[in-house]
């Protein structure tokens, strides 16, 4: 426990549907502080780098083209027990399995276009935050 950080990004389906504001409201009302945030877009190559761990999976090529199909909003978030609590707030990868009221249950379109990312460990939260943000972009 103790204050730690996680990394998230609002994915292209949710940004293009105009759901970014509603999602950020849920995140802030759940007690997360936004340390860094921007709107940006990934190339397919850079999406592939972010999801390198999944490169042998059958969904990898589709995931890279989807994640580079439109704007995303990456954020670094701070809260007690941030990684675990944020995974609970977003819900299961497949929106059909996501608990009612979770961000994916509310906003995901499919198992691929599932509205939002959340880091799965403290170590990956650091790696993923560093992928998008330099030290001077964090407040």
Which residues are the active-site residues? Answer: 117
- Quick one: tokens of 91? 């819900």
Beta bridge partners of 77: 6, 34
85 binds ligand UDP per the rule CB under 6 A: no
Among 15, 23, 117, 129, binds ligand UDP (CB under 6 A): 117
Convert residues 27-56 into a mask of x (bound to ligand UDP by CB under 6 A) and - (unbound): ---------------------------x--
Examine residue 59 and tell whether it contacts ligand UDP (CB under 6 A).
Answer: yes
Using rule CB under 6 A, residue 6 touches ligand UDP: no
Residue 136 CB, shortest distance to Mg ion, in Å, is: 28
Determine the distance from the C-alpha atom of residue 21 to the mean position of all C-alpha atoms in its chain, rounded to a whole number.
Answer: 14
Among candidate residues 5, 2, 3, the one with its CA nearest the CA of residue 74: 5
Binding of ligand UDP by 23 (CB under 6 A): no
Shorter beta-carbon distance to ligand UDP: residue 127 or 137: 127
Bin 31: left if φ > 0, else alpha if -120 < ψ < 50, else beta.
left
Burial class (CB in 10 A: 0-12, 13-18, 19+), 7: buried
Nearer to Mg ion, 20 or 63 (CB): 63
């Amino acid at each position: 426990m103790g204050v730690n950080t996680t990394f998230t990004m609002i994915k292209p389906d949710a940004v293009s549907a105009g759901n970014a504001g509603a999602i950020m409201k849920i995140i802030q009302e759940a007690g997360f502080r936004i340390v860094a945030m921007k709107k940006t877009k990934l190339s397919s190559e850079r999406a592939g780098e972010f999801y390198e761990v999944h490169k042998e999976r059958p969904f990898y090529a589709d995931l890279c083209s989807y994640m580079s199909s439109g704007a995303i909003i990456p954020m670094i978030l701070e809260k007690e027990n941030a990684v675990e609590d944020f995974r609970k707030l977003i819900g299961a990868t497949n929106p059909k399995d996501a608990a009612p009221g979770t961000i994916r249950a509310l906003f995901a379109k499919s198992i691929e276009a599932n509205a939002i990312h959340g880091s799965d460990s403290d170590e990956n939260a650091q790696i993923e935050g560093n992928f998008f943000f330099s030290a001077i972009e964090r407040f």
